[in-house]
């Protein structure tokens, strides 16, 4: 019972990859607690009344727009999301659009919403929207989401044509996407690992409060037959020879 509830509200790994935010923050930012059980003797301790079902859109769950969409009392029609075994479309992948006015055109994936099986393809499947900002009218092209299940197809890098694919293991035990038409491996682009803070892990620029790579990897632990407190007391020259009174744990 609880498992399915968790599945409904779980944020996809690839949706939050680019933002590089800790899970704790995402949970805190999207949480909507209406009531908590008071402390003390209760027949059901730690009961929380909070919003369980969230309506996912192109806005990220920690954004103010998401909170606006899911503000208390706002309900949305039920959304059916097709279950997928393994997510296979990553930022920077070349895909072909199979529906709409940009049918048979190829583009690069730039945004993922895993909760809805959506991706945005750069410059394709756009909608022209008119914004009226104080008398000044602006027209903007906005990419509309495409379903990964049947509205886009991956492009085979060998002949640049759309293809079906399958996840298979290489001899070294690595999982790769293999084109069903040519049998060639479709590599996962390097930009799949890209985040707001760095293009690749090696290219991260250290910030003033960061621990340096060298200090982080330095092994200073030496096992001794002491607890943490005993070792700290020894090093600080704190001597404790008082004998505590006998106590009982129950």
Rule CB under 8 A: which residues touch another protein? 1, 4, 7, 21-22, 24-25, 28-29, 41, 43-45, 80, 82-85, 149-150, 197, 204, 206-211, 216-222, 225-229, 231-232, 235, 245, 247-250
* Residue placing its CB nearer to another protein in the complex, 83 or 173: 83
**Nearest distance from residue 10's CB to another protein, in Å?**
11
* Cα separation, 53 vs 4, whole angstroms: 11
* Cα separation, 167 vs 91, whole angstroms: 18
Q: What are phi and psi of 25, to 5 degrees?
A: -70, -45
**Nearest distance from residue 43's CB to another protein, in Å?**
4
* Cα separation, 139 vs 220, whole angstroms: 60
Tokens encoding 132:
């009226």
* Residue placing its CB nearer to another protein in the complex, 132 or 215: 215
* Residue placing its CB nearer to another protein in the complex, 141 or 220: 220
* Residue placing its CB nearer to another protein in the complex, 45 or 123: 45
**Nearest distance from residue 218's CB to another protein, in Å?**
8
**Nearest distance from residue 137's CB to another protein, in Å?**
28
**Nearest distance from residue 240's CB to another protein, in Å?**
16
Tokens encoding 114:
């895993």
* Residue placing its CB nearer to another protein in the complex, 43 or 139: 43
- Maximum CA pair distance of the chain? 83
List 132's β-bridge partners, or say none.
137
**Whether 62 contacts 26, CB under 8 Å:** yes
Closest CA to 68 of 78, 52, 57, 79: 57
């Amino acid at each position: 019972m609880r498992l399915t509830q968790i599945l409904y509200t779980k944020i996809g790994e690839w949706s939050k990859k680019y933002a590089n935010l800790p899970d704790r923050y995402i949970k805190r930012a999207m949480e909507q607690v209406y009531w908590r059980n008071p402390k003390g003797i209760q027949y059901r301790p730690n009961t929380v009344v909070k919003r369980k079902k969230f309506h996912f859109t192109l806005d990220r769950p920690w954004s103010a727009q998401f909170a606006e969409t899911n503000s208390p009392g706002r309900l949305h029609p039920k959304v059916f999301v097709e279950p997928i075994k393994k997510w296979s479309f990553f930022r920077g992948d070349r895909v072909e659009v199979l529906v709409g006015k940009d049918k048979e055109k190829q583009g690069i994936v730039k945004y993922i919403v895993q909760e809805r099986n959506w991706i945005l393809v750069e410059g394709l499947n756009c909608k022209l929207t008119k914004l009226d900002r104080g008398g000044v009218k602006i027209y903007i092209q906005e990419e509309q989401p495409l379903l990964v299940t049947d509205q886009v197809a991956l492009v085979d890098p060998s002949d640049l044509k759309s293809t079906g694919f399958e996840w298979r293991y290489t001899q070294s035990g690595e999982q790769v996407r293999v084109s069903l038409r040519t049998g060639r491996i479709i590599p996962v682009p390097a930009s799949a690992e890209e985040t707001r803070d760095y293009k690749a892990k090696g290219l991260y620029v250290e910030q003033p409060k960061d621990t340096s790579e060298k200090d982080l990897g330095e092994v200073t632990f030496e096992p001794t037959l002491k607890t943490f407190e005993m070792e700290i007391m020894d090093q600080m020259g704190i001597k404790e020879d008082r004998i505590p009174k006998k106590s009982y744990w129950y």
